[in-house]
Structure formats: C-alpha cells, structure tokens
Amino acid sequence: MSLRQHLVELRKRLFRSAAAILLFSVGGFFVGNFVLDGLRQPIIDASKEHGVKTLLNYSGATAAFDLHLQIAFFVGIIVASPIWLYQLFAFLVPGLTKREKKYTFGFFFSTVPLFLAGCTAGWLVLPHMFLLLNSFVSSQDANFLDAKDYFTFAVKLILAVGIAFILPVFLVLLNFMGILTGKAILKAWRWAILVIIVFCAIATPSADVISMFLLAAPIIGLYFIAVGIAFVHDRAALKRAQALENELDTASL
C-alpha cells in the first residue's frame, strides 16, 4: 500500500472507531448516575474512615452537565472497546503474511478481555488510592473536590491500567510482523519489570505495597507469556525459512 492508501485506511478505521464510541456514549449518558455513584463511593468511605468532610464540588452552572457528558464518553470508550480494538488490529493486519493473519482473531479475542480486566483492576484500585491520598487532609479541614478533576483522575487511572494489560499483546503482534524478536523482547526484561513496578507504584501508592504487587504480578506474567509466544513463533518461522531454503537448494540441483 502507498502512503496515501495507508492514510485513507487509517481515516476509515478512525471514523468507525469514533462512530462506535459516539453511539455507545449516547447510551452511557443514561447510566451516568450509576457510574457517578460508583466513583463517589471512595469519597464517602474516606469521609467515614478519616473523619474528614469530603464532597464533590461543581464550579459552575453547567459543570454537572459537562461531567455527565464526560462520563458518557468514558462509558462509550469502555463498551466500544471490542470495536476500536478490532479496527486497530485490522489496520495492522496488512503488515502480516496470509498465515499470520489467521492469528488476528486470536489477538483480538485476547485483547478485549485483557483490556476489560485491566479497567476492572483500575476500578478496584481507585478506592485504596483515594483513601491514602485523602488521609493527608487534616481532620480539622474539609476537602472539597472539583468534580471534573476527580473524574479525570479516576478515568486516567482506570484507562492506564486497562492499556497496561494489553501492551504484551502488542509485543506479540510486533513479533509476528517481524519488528521485534523474542530474544530482543526478553533482553529488555529488567527494564520492562522496572517500568511495570514504577507504573504500579504510581497507580497504587499504598503504604503496605500489597496493592502494588497485586497489580504488577499479572502484568509481569503477561509480559513473560508474550516472550514465550514470541520465542515459539521465531522458532517456527526459522524452521519454515530453513525448509524453504532446502527446497530452493534442491530445485537448483
């Protein structure tokens, strides 16, 4: 494909992804109150545990409506994840051979549950993270949270963990495209673990570090699973290359 064809293909995939997110965002608007109640629960728990009055604060006449729009868009991203993840893989598929294209559905059906599992993990980590951060507020003070800032904080955490869970799948995809070898992926294992630990430490600043390791363990496990799959693929690709070379040598004789 030429550069222009790639850009046209990218535009088509982005349009389909945006349309899916917009469509599900409409439905997300009607469940916005339920999502907001879930996000508000850590605030309620923090008020009870630390004895600090903690409330969401809306800074303008349209702030509550704007927040509901943002929640709807967030729900749209989560619910439409099977569609935009598929569009992403479909855009990368032309870089694979016909044999390797068969694995596309395997990539897709592993990425979607991993992304949703990561978002769930981020949702479960959010209350612990907020409890710790809110504990620094003196009992003599009150904590009035800007609703938009709090929602942005929660969404960044949830989506960041969701994306972290699917990164190993993209490592495997890059291996299948011939960009990275299994050996190259494994060679960077120290840096990979360090980045994962640092990320989890930032996402879960818990004093007992249990939450951090509970979140880091599955991501590290997924990384090494990706390494194993990459090595198996490299070995199979080498055997095919050697078989083809032997056939060419036989034909030349």
Inter-residue contact 132 to 211 (CB < 8 Å): no
Residue 203 has pLDDT above 70, yes or no: no
Q: Would you kindly state where each structural domain of the chain is located, as residue ranges? A: 3-252
How many whole angstroms separate alpha carbon 247 and alpha carbon 204? 56
| pLDDT at 243 (0 to 100) | 77
Tokens describing residue 203: 């996402």
Q: What is the mean pLDDT of residues 23-43?
A: 88
**pLDDT-based confidence at 1, cuts 50/70/90?**
low
pTM: 0.75
Mean of per-residue pLDDT scores for the chain: 81
Q: What is the mean pLDDT of residues 7-27?
A: 89
Q: Which phi and psi (to 5°) does residue 53 adopt?
A: -65, 115
How many whole angstroms separate alpha carbon 142 and alpha carbon 193? 39
How many whole angstroms separate alpha carbon 153 and alpha carbon 65? 18
| pLDDT at 19 (0 to 100) | 93
**pLDDT-based confidence at 146, cuts 50/70/90?**
confident
Run of H or E including 215: helix 210-252
Q: Give SS3 for 190.
A: helix
pLDDT tens-digit map of 209-224: 666 777 788 888 888 9
How many whole angstroms separate alpha carbon 98 and alpha carbon 152? 42
Cα 121–chain centre separation? 11
| pLDDT at 251 (0 to 100) | 66
| pLDDT at 188 (0 to 100) | 85
Residue 207 has pLDDT above 60, yes or no: no
| pLDDT at 98 (0 to 100) | 64
Q: According to the per-residue pLDDT averaged within each range, which of 10-24, 129-143, 199-213 is highest?
A: 10-24
pLDDT tens-digit map of 74-108: 999 999 988 888 888 777 766 566 666 666 667 77
| pLDDT at 100 (0 to 100) | 60
| pLDDT at 58 (0 to 100) | 87
How many whole angstroms separate alpha carbon 247 and alpha carbon 253? 10
pLDDT tens-digit map of 155-202: 888 888 888 888 888 888 778 777 788 888 888 888 888 888 887 777
